[in-house]
Amino acid sequence: MNSPIQSIEDDLVFLDEPDHDEFSAASQNQASWRIMIIDDDPDVHSATTFALGSLEIQHRPLSFVHAYSAAEAREILQKEKDIAIILLDVVMEHEDAGLQLVNYIRKTLQLADVRIILRTGQPGYAPEIDAIRDYDINDYKTKSELTRTKLYTAVTSAIRSYEQICSISASRRGLEMIINASTELMAKHGLQNFASGVLTQMTGLLNLDAEGFVCARQNPLGEQDTVNDLHIIAATAGLSQLVDRSLAELNRPAVLDLVSRSLSSKQSIYEADMTALYFNNAEKKDFTLFLENGLQLNEMDRRLLEVFCGNVSVGLDNVILNSRLHNYAFYDLLTGLANRLKLLQTLNETLSSPLKEKSALSLIDIDHFAETNDALGHQFGDLLLYAVAQRLFNHFGTQCQLARVGSDTFALLGDQDLVNPDTILKLFTTPFQVDHQDVQLSATIGLIKLGDYEGDGSEALKDTNIALKRAKTNQRGGYEYFTRNMGVEIRERVLLMHALRAAFEHERLFLVYQPQIDMRTGKALGAEALLRWRTDEGKFIPPDQFIPIAEYSGLIVDIGEWVLRSALYELVHLRSIGYTEFQMAINVSQAQFSHPLFMQSLHKALQDTKAPPEFVELEITESMAMKDPDLLIKTLHQIKQLGVNISIDDFGTGFSSLSHLQKLDVDKLKIDRAFVNDIQQDASEGSIAKMIVQLGQNLGLTIIAEGVENQMQANTLQEYGCFLAQGYFYAKPLTQQDLRTWLQQRTQPQLSSNQS
């Protein structure tokens, strides 16, 4: 229907033209550019193959695929691959059959790489501008203008274009594969999993069925790049027996030599029959992949492989970083043991497994470690902790979960026959050798049996700590098992502590005042300020219950300052209404007294309230006086410089040293109510109270008795020489208003000289 290609003379130089059959045979033996001719005129097919058949383009011959209609072309294109160029006639079965075929090729078959050259013998059916604009074609020629030279030129240009597009597409596909492979690798956790993933992805990307392995340095601190400290951490199926073995054990000199050269040069090495890929990383941890295959790669594939190797190096950095973060999260850096978080993880797993029935948890606390640490230094203390950890690990090994859960506290979780307190304590009978010194240590242990325990891991650890604290309170160097009663007691204590904090914040604490009397005259000389707590329901909580909790929680410091200021304000008010000789006694706790800002807060309270220091008396307990005598003497001296008086409360109950007592700058001793209660009709009873009175008189101190409840006690105390007292016999503790009423009823205000 259409005329053949014009056979006019041109300057194109052809190779010697072989027989058509010989060409076909040759084209099967080497890669060729495949050109499809779609035309309903057989002469066009013959003329085109004659014009191009003997040519080589880019050092590759041409081969041809023929279709004589658009319908036949559709069938062929569904099966044939790697068509480089389609020479397509416009008018075949119908006027636009070629143009419709273009849309089918591009849109239905999704063949974007193939180059399409549209040829027509009747240009009017497909105007050139419209065709190029509306259809995805690469060239448009009329058959009359396609001389041999122009046909060769058009085909050569199209093949070059096709080659570049294929290269770009291959690169894109390679990059997509690299991205997908890298994404999968980034999801791997742990060096061994990551190495297995690298091996799998590498063989998949290169489409290899080759054996190989990955080796990594066992000791990351090693300086020498040798095979002696490299271990195989992943391998393909055929070499799986090598996993976890040293590379030095591999009896294959050629492989060892290749890996050694790769390590020393820190580069990948490609040989004819095997390959070593070196992966760099920020940690300088050697990581090498060996393949029993020589990679014959073109330039593009080599670059793509380098990109993938770069991604592997980044992934390796991430794996090492994640491993380090995992260690930081779950292991103690000093001892290498599990930490509290790891212990809780294992503990929860144990509690939810059959192992629970025979398991026990213990906490092992080193006695007096803080003193050793302070005396010998933190570096020595760290070495000591490491020595303890090593001894525990050497004994229990992997049979139990061993962890460091506090500065000097270790945890042991395992079978209750192994987690035995006698066994553990026996490990501390032999001295620990630290820095060429023998150090004798003891430990105190709290334990819990998990068989019938109903809580989770966090609660079990907390209850074991309760047992440990009970053991430390009862006997250092011993042990206690947790009981339900312990849990009830501590929980009630915690609830009371929270309730006390809330009561203080919402001003439900208040002061009462118990008058202090001169028993000879009945005159009120002062009062002791006492703290009370009444709940919203009107229930009174005894001071002996909430004061220890306030001291334990540290809340006593804030409460104590509030008590001090409130009592001073009351003193100032009493003086303002005429009781100018009245003295206010205020209790100070150990925690409050030893607080570094105590003197500052005392001085500020006196300034703010304008209370006269000489009418203020601070009561400290005898046990406080003995706890740190040197600090006490220094602080008492500072208090006396302010003009404030000092009294020792509950004297006789703390086993104090008389030599220390003589050094204390105090003004008064208070006889404890227990000794006052011992005073009976029999004169032999109450002798301790008598001795305290005599001691006070010898030291030149004022003596006051508390808890006086009857006339006989009052008379006896006066016979001993004690004339000051407080107790229910004279007055119970009174509220602020009741105290003022009581004073008004008992005695007339003592007017100061300027009021007389």
| 297-351: pLDDT as tens digits | 767 667 777 777 777 777 777 776 777 777 788 889 899 899 999 999 999 999 9
**What Å distances lie between residue 153 and 122, 141, 156, CA to CA?**
22, 12, 5
- Exposure letters 288-317 (e unless 16+ CB within 10 A, then b): bbbbbbebeeeeebeebbeebbebbbbbbb
Residue 6 lies in a domain: no
Long-range contacts of 299-302 (CB under 8 A, 24+ apart): 300/167, 300/170, 300/171, 300/174, 301/174
CATH number for position 43: 3.40.50.2300
The single-letter DSSP state of residue 243 is T
DSSP letter for each residue of 320-382:
HHHHHHHHHHHB-TTT-SB-HHHHHHHHHHHHTSGGGGGEEEEEEEETTHHHHHHHH-HHHHH
In this prediction, residue 607 carries a pLDDT of 95
On the question of pLDDT at 24 being above 60, the answer is no
* 344 and 325 both lie in a single domain: no
Q: Kindly tell me if the per-residue pLDDT of 134 is higher than 70.
A: no
Q: For 479-537, how does the pLDDT look when each residue is reduced to its tens digit (9 = 90+)? A: 999 988 776 777 787 888 899 999 999 888 999 999 999 999 999 999 999 999 998 88
Q: Do the domain assignments include residue 181?
A: no
Same-domain pairing of 324 and 376: no
Token look-up 């119908």 returns 94
Same domain, 742 and 665: yes
Q: Which residue type occupies 382?
A: D
Q: Do 116 and 222 belong together in one domain?
A: no
Cα–Cα–Cα angle for 472, 619, 692, nearest 5°? 90
For residues 256 and 227, is the Cβ–Cβ distance under 8 A?
yes
SS3 150: helix
Dihedral (Cα; 184, 185, 186, 187), 10-degree rounding: 60
- Residue 172: pLDDT band with limits 50, 70, 90: low
Cross-strand pairs, 89: 119
Residues forming a β-bridge with 705: 671, 725
Q: Do 365 and 295 sit in the same domain of this protein?
A: no
Is 2 among the domain residues?
no
- In our burial notation (b when 16+ CB lie closer than 10 A, e otherwise), range 722-745 reads bbbbbbebbbebbeeeebbebbee
d(CA 195, CA 200): 9
Residue 4 lies in a domain: no
3-state SS of the chain: helix, strand, coil percent to 5?
50, 20, 30
* Predicted local distance difference test score (pLDDT) of residue 755: 40
Q: Are strands 702-706 and 668-671 parallel, antiparallel or unpaired?
A: parallel
pLDDT at residue 359 in the model: 94
Cα–Cα dist 360/257, whole Å: 53
Q: What is the structure's pLDDT at 122? A: 61
pLDDT at 377 over 90: no
Between strands 443-449 and 479-481, the pairing is parallel
DSSP string across 45-105: HHHHHHHHTT-EETTEEEEEEEESSHHHHHHHHHH---EEEEEEES-SSSTTHHHHHHHII
Within this chain, do residues 110 and 212 fall inside the same structural domain, yes or no? no
Q: Lowest mean pLDDT: which of 91-100, 164-173, 365-374?
A: 164-173
Q: Mark whether 246 and 155 lie in a shared domain.
A: no
Residue 13 is assigned to a structural domain of this protein: no
Phi and psi (nearest 5°) for 449?
-90, 130
Task: Report the CATH number that the domain containing residue 406 is assigned in CATH.
Answer: 3.30.70.270
Domain at 591, CATH number: 3.20.20.450
The label of the residue with tokens 């016999």 reads 729
Is residue 753 situated within a structural domain?
no
pLDDT greater than 50 at residue 624? yes
Q: Which domain holds residue 693?
A: 497-746
Q: What is the 3-state secondary structure (H, E, C) of 623-686?
A: HHHHHCHHHHHHHHHHHHHCCCEEEEEEECCCCCCHHHHHHCCCCEEEECHHHHHCCCCCCCCC
Residue 721 included in any domain: yes
Structural contact between residues 724 and 517, judged by C-beta atoms closer than 8 angstroms: yes
| Alpha-carbon distance values, 240 to 190, 237, 260, 269, 281 (Å) | 18, 5, 21, 23, 25
CA distance 129 to 457: 79
Task: Tell me how many domains the chain contains.
Answer: 4
Task: Report which listed range, 134-143, 273-282, 522-531, is most confident.
Answer: 522-531
More confident residue, 708 or 30: 708
Q: Place 5 in a pLDDT band, splitting at 50, 70 and 90.
A: very low
Among 295, 330, 365, identify where a domain stops.
330
Question: Of 429, 457, 482, which closes a domain?
Answer: 482
- Among 107, 142, 171, which residue terminates a domain? 171
CB 208 within 8 A of CB 293: yes
pLDDT at 220: 41
Q: Quick check: 600 pLDDT over 80?
A: yes
- Nearest-10 crossing angle of helices 457-474, 484-505: 90
Query: Are the C-beta atoms of residues 285 and 216 closer than 8 Å to each other?
Result: yes
Tokens of 326: 């995992």
Residues 473 and 507 in one domain: no
Same domain? 161 vs 196: no
Residue 313 lies in a domain: yes
Q: Which of 177, 90, 175 is nearest to 137 (CA)?
A: 90
240: nearest Cα among 205, 275, 195: 195
pLDDT at 489: 72
Percent above pLDDT 90 for the chain: 37
DSSP per residue, 264-328: HHTS-EE-SS-EEEE---TT---EEEEESS-----HHHHHHHHHHHHHHHHHHHHHHHHHHHHHH
Could you give the 3-state DSSP secondary structure of residue 580? Answer: coil
Based on the fold, state whether residues 363 and 324 are members of the same structural domain.
no
pLDDT at residue 245 greater than cutoff 60? yes
Better-scored residue on pLDDT, 129 or 427: 427
Please report, for the domain that includes residue 302, its CATH number: 3.30.450.40
| Residues forming a β-bridge with 33 | 62
Model confidence band, residue 654 (pLDDT cutoffs 50, 70, 90): low
DSSP string over 720-731: HT--EEESTTT-
Residues 404 and 548 in one domain: no
- Which residues, in sequence order, are bridge partners of residue 235? 213
Give the residue among 187, 138, 143, 137 at the shortest CA–CA distance from 158: 138
Tens-place pLDDT, residues 436-477: 888 899 999 999 999 988 889 999 999 999 899 889 888 788
- Residue 27 has what pLDDT? 34
